[in-house]
Amino acid sequence: MALRQIRMDSDPVLRKQTRSIDVISDRIRELAQDMFDTMYQAEGVGLAAPQVGILKKIVVIDTGENPIVLINPTVSEPEGSIIMEEACLSFPERSGQVDRPEKVKVTFTDLEGGRQTLECEGLLARAVCHEVDHLNGIVFLDKVIEGTLHDDRNA
């Protein structure tokens, strides 16, 4: 098990664009495993590569059903809207209400190099949208509904 350092707060890497992954190398498989290890250690449900300082399009998610790795993901066909409390491992002790689609489709490359489409709803849809945002330099604080941010850093 290898833990990577989670980038936090105003770290500029969290605001950068990421590059597509062309080849699923051993290095990418190792990165995915390290991202799971890091996410579980921090008790999160999702982690995107920029959060460990890597500007590549890969995220890991485990909302309690089964762990998934999304490489080069694209989100489509959003349906509905749910406002729910959200947080992020890169912004500890902060949370706030974010409006996300109730359902989305995500198309991605898996670790074997196959292209898949997954229909997501509820917490999984929320996690997919949150993590794919990270690949575009967008963080949940950008989307928190005004007046709902809780900040316990100095509590």
Which residues are catalytic, by number?
A: 131
Stretch that binds Ni ion, among 34-42, 55-63, 88-96, 111-119 (CB under 5 A): 88-96
Sign of the torsion angle spanned by Cα atoms 27, 115, 14, 62: negative
Q: Assess 35 for contact with Ni ion (CB under 5 A).
A: no
Backbone angle region of 3, left / alpha / beta, with phi > 0 → left and psi within -120 to 50 → alpha: beta
Is the CB of 75 or the CB of 88 nearer to Ni ion? 88
Stretch that binds Ni ion, among 7-15, 25-33, 87-95, 120-128 (CB under 5 A): 87-95
What gap in Å lies between CA 111 and CA 109, rounded to an integer? 7
Q: Assess 98 for contact with Ni ion (CB under 5 A).
A: no
Is the CB of 46 or the CB of 108 nearer to Ni ion? 46
Q: Are the beta carbons of 75 and 136 closer than 8 angstroms? A: no
Q: Assess 88 for contact with Ni ion (CB under 5 A).
A: yes
Is the CB of 24 or the CB of 54 nearer to Ni ion? 54
Please enumerate in sequence order all residues whose Cβ is within 8 A of that of 46, keeping only pairs 6 or more positions apart, or say none: 39, 59, 60, 61, 62, 63, 127, 130, 131
Would you tell me which residues interact with Ni ion (CB under 5 A)? Answer: 88
